[in-house]
Structure 1
Amino acid sequence: MNTQQCTKCHATLKASSKFCHICGTAISSTRTTDTSSQQQQSQQQQTKAQPLQFMRVREQSQGAYSIQVPQGWHYSTTLQQYPDGNAVSIWQTQDPSGTVHISSPGTIYSFQEPIGAFFGQMLPGRRLLKFMSAKDFIQSGLLSQLRFTYPSMQVEQVSEHPERIADMVQAYASAGQNPAQAQFSIASVQFTFTRDGKRYRQEMYITILRQLAMHTWDACVTGQLCTLADQFAQYQPVLTTIGKSFQWNQQWMQIRNANNQMLAAQMMQQAQMRMQQAQMQALQVQRQSIMDIGNMAQASQARQMEAQERQFHAMDNIIAGNIDLRDSNGQVYNVTNDFQPQHWRDGLGQVHGGNWNARPNINWTPLSPTGD
């Protein structure tokens, strides 16, 4: 099928097209690909030599940020917001042929340092992991995930980029945050993989933001380029240009910062309430423990006094020659000890003793020694 190229954005079009469906440029009907191979090579050389023109586009859902993308390229921009107030930009762009992909996918990994449980609580959406630099994070965890996605992956290099930290600090400050209360790190991984018989090269940038006071840190995929391996060097500067062109909408940032301050105040209030509740519970436990100890001491003292009273009573019985007898209802009778093995109480309340051969009245109530 005969085709032609747009003279402005170089998109591939049908030979019958009058206008470019990408940039809208009017197309001359005489420029078709059924020309000689020499003309095609000349056109490709001119296309490669012609620098890309960029245009600024805004985030499409809230106008939260803007970036520059090559004119004539497909693009999309959006925003991911999290319950803790954090916001991550998500954007992507690709050339008309669909072979060059540049994006910031918004992939974020959120962690909390083991020593930093905020008021003893894990923050929502975070996992427990000690802090590490961007390069260590790539080597320790990210590469294993990438190998699962790209089985044929061959890692070419993992590099730190301290020269880009200044840009991170500036972006953090422009978002209304204090860079002195944070720690920054950035690194990249470059690798190749094979798909559908074609060799691709991909580069990913990972940024680390550590919030010192909260003992939390986030690792984010902030930019990546994927294209055919032999075209990688040609489009690598485009990723840098787009990344440096990123700008937050200051009006949107002011609204977000105000909301975040309210959220932080709510979280602080909830944390203080949890602390107060914990303190009240601890105080109640302490009070109950004191009461339990006091009750135990009183019970012990009562038992000691009771034992002493039994001893005194037993001594009094020995001196007076008495004995304590108890009926089936628990009533105790202190009577003269006649040294008889059996005793009964008659209907008038009198106690009678007798030996083992005695035959008392059937209406008498038997008594037994209390042992005291």
Structure 2
Amino acid sequence: MSSSTGFALLGAAILVAACSDAASGGPSSQPISSPVADTAKKPAAPIDPARLQFVKLTEPQEKSYSIELPTGWTNDVSLVRVYNMVRPVSTSVSPDGNTLFFFGDGRVPGYMVPNGVIDENSFLVSQNPLMRVGNYIPADQFFQQYIKEKFGSKPGFKIIGRDRSPVYEKIIMDVLTRSGFQPSITSVYYSFQYMENNKTTYGVLHGATIFGGTIWVPEVMGALSSGDPARFNETLLKIAATNKTDPTWKARENAQHQQRMAQLQRDYQQQQVNFSAMNQQHQLRMNQIQQSASAHQERMGNLQAANDARNNAWAIQQASLDRSHERFINVIRGEHTVADAQGNTFQVDNSHQKYFVNKTKHTYIGTHNTTSLDDLRKLGLNPDDYAETKVIR
């Protein structure tokens, strides 16, 4: 899920990068550094997850999201961007160097299900390593290959156990169900080990693949440790739940997306104008060469109709994908998009039935659906400062 969402479990949408084998579009094989400490260091006491404290960190480049990571650990919060596709990635290494947490993988793409308009050879797909075309793959199959490609070349690598990850799956499903969305979700939990610097590194991985109709998204988080990383499972879920998208960044992304869609529409219209002018010139030449070329004119008309049908199908498909993507992202983030009477849109949480937006500060108040502007006086607010909005998605 893109971008950073209310849960790092889904990543950034939707969508939200490239695998080591770009042609296959399969799981990433980018290595994750082992957390095993230098043998010269004095052994440290085992980390007690219950005693960990956390600090809120903001992704520095675009200020796109924040996440709470362990205080005193070496933390990295980043956003992987390729064109308009983004992936939030966070890591945290313990002070003794023996434990690593990771949330997201910047090389795992989102997938669009192939159809009559979009396939693996489509231009937009082939130009973006964070976007792939492929049929849905259940989590156990996807992440079995993922783990082998990431860690399988390590000495002594072996998978110790495999099971579902019901807590991970339930957190994802609860977020989506509360927003009225019923995706298909499969999850998996792997434990594994391998040798690094003549020491055993143990790993746990929670993976999920979330199917949203026209798109599906793999998401991953886990831990590597010289001790038993399973004791950090609750900590991983707790950290993931602190991932929050910045509303200003989200509004800017939405505006840029609308500009891109408008430019695509202008390009399409210009293509139609150019084709029409070319066709008129061709018809004139044909009339000058042969007045009776009715059969040829009919063929050109059929070509025009076929071109219109293909372009219209492409435009309809793009609009459908955009709507599906925006709905999916809103659902994942636990947000609504609302609009005022002037058509201005705002992102709000989805825990209320009606929203009033401050006209100057762009803050909002969520209320019951029976609340009116005049009722705001009871809250000590001036109704003239607020505008009633309508939930549009």
Q: Could you say which TM-score interval applies, normalised by the shorter chain?
A: 0.5 to 0.7
Identity of aligned residues (%): 16
Q: Supply the distance in 1 between the matched residues of 2:273 and 2:165 (Cα, whole angstroms).
A: 45
Say yes or no: does 1:257 pair with 2:262: no
Instruction: For residue 149 of structure 1, report the CA deviation from its aligned partner.
Output: 4.0
SS at match of 1:132: coil
> Does the 8 Å contact 2:176/2:183 carry over to 1?
no
Q: Supply the distance in 1 between the matched residues of 2:281 and 2:155 (Cα, whole angstroms).
A: 59
Q: Supply the distance in 2 between the matched residues of 1:200 and 1:77 (Cα, whole angstroms).
A: 24
**Cα shift readout 1:322-345 (whole Å, capped 9, x = no counterpart):** xxxxxxxxxxxxxxxxxxxxxxxx
SS at match of 1:57: strand
**Cα shift readout 1:69-109 (whole Å, capped 9, x = no counterpart):** 122111111111232x2321111111111111112243322
Q: Supply the distance in 2 between the matched residues of 1:121 and 1:49 (Cα, whole angstroms).
A: 47
Q: Supply the distance in 2 between the matched residues of 1:180 and 1:49 (Cα, whole angstroms).
A: 34
Q: Paired residue for 1:318?
A: none
Paired positions, count: 245
Q: Paired residue for 2:201?
A: 200
AA at the equivalent of 2:114: P
2:134 to 104, 129, 134: 129
Q: Which runs of 5+ in 2 are unaligned?
A: 1-41, 287-291, 298-393
From the superposition, tell whether residues 123 and 294 of structure 1 become closer, same or farther in structure 2 (CA, over 3 Å): closer
1:146 to 142, 145, 150: 150
Instruction: For residue 169 of structure 1, report the CA deviation from its aligned partner.
Output: 5.9
Q: Paired residue for 1:161?
A: 165
**Cα shift readout 1:39-62 (whole Å, capped 9, x = no counterpart):** x99x948x7497112222221222
Q: Paired residue for 1:189?
A: 190
Q: Supply the distance in 2 between the matched residues of 1:186 and 1:277 (Cα, whole angstroms).
A: 50
From the superposition, tell whether residues 123 and 163 of structure 1 become closer, same or farther in structure 2 (CA, over 3 Å): farther
Q: Supply the distance in 1 between the matched residues of 2:164 and 2:279 (Cα, whole angstroms).
A: 49
> Does the 8 Å contact 2:168/2:237 carry over to 1?
no
From the superposition, tell whether residues 147 and 209 of structure 1 become closer, same or farther in structure 2 (CA, over 3 Å): same
**Cα shift readout 1:255-298 (whole Å, capped 9, x = no counterpart):** 2222223334444555676789889999999998x938579xxx
SS at match of 1:235: helix
Q: Paired residue for 2:102?
A: 103
Q: Paired residue for 2:239?
A: 242
Instruction: For residue 225 of structure 1, report the CA deviation from its aligned partner.
Output: 0.6
> Does the 8 Å contact 1:134/1:160 carry over to 2?
no
From the superposition, tell whether residues 153 and 271 of structure 1 become closer, same or farther in structure 2 (CA, over 3 Å): farther
From the superposition, tell whether residues 127 and 61 of structure 1 become closer, same or farther in structure 2 (CA, over 3 Å): closer
Q: Paired residue for 2:361?
A: none
Q: Supply the distance in 1 between the matched residues of 2:49 and 2:222 (Cα, whole angstroms).
A: 24
SS at match of 1:98: coil
SS at match of 1:253: helix
> Does the 8 Å contact 1:112/1:122 carry over to 2?
no
Q: Which has the larger radius of gyration?
A: 1
Please, what is the CA RMSD of the aligned residues?
4.3
SS at match of 1:194: strand
Q: Paired residue for 1:365?
A: none
Say yes or no: does 1:291 pair with 2:288: no
AA at the equivalent of 1:196: N
Q: Which runs of 5+ in 1 are unaligned?
A: 1-39, 296-372
From the superposition, tell whether residues 294 and 127 of structure 1 become closer, same or farther in structure 2 (CA, over 3 Å): closer
From the superposition, tell whether residues 108 and 273 of structure 1 become closer, same or farther in structure 2 (CA, over 3 Å): farther
From the superposition, tell whether residues 147 and 285 of structure 1 become closer, same or farther in structure 2 (CA, over 3 Å): farther
> Does the 8 Å contact 2:92/2:101 carry over to 1?
yes
Instruction: For residue 246 of structure 1, report the CA deviation from its aligned partner.
Output: 1.3
Q: Paired residue for 2:117?
A: 117
Q: Paired residue for 2:74?
A: 74
Q: Paired residue for 2:217?
A: 218
SS at match of 2:109: strand
Instruction: For residue 128 of structure 1, report the CA deviation from its aligned partner.
Output: 3.7
Q: Paired residue for 1:65?
A: 65
> Does the 8 Å contact 2:111/2:132 carry over to 1?
yes
From the superposition, tell whether residues 152 and 66 of structure 1 become closer, same or farther in structure 2 (CA, over 3 Å): same
From the superposition, tell whether residues 199 and 92 of structure 1 become closer, same or farther in structure 2 (CA, over 3 Å): same
Q: Paired residue for 2:91?
A: 92
From the superposition, tell whether residues 130 and 164 of structure 1 become closer, same or farther in structure 2 (CA, over 3 Å): same
SS at match of 1:80: strand
Q: Supply the distance in 1 between the matched residues of 2:271 and 2:148 (Cα, whole angstroms).
A: 39
From the superposition, tell whether residues 101 and 155 of structure 1 become closer, same or farther in structure 2 (CA, over 3 Å): same
1:232 to 229, 232, 255: 229
The answer to which structure, 1 or 2, has the higher relative contact order (CA under 8 A, 6+ apart) is 2
Q: Supply the distance in 2 between the matched residues of 1:128 and 1:193 (Cα, whole angstroms).
A: 32
SS at match of 2:137: coil
SS at match of 2:156: coil
Instruction: For residue 147 of structure 1, report the CA deviation from its aligned partner.
Output: 4.7
Q: Supply the distance in 2 between the matched residues of 1:211 and 1:279 (Cα, whole angstroms).
A: 38
From the superposition, tell whether residues 64 and 115 of structure 1 become closer, same or farther in structure 2 (CA, over 3 Å): same
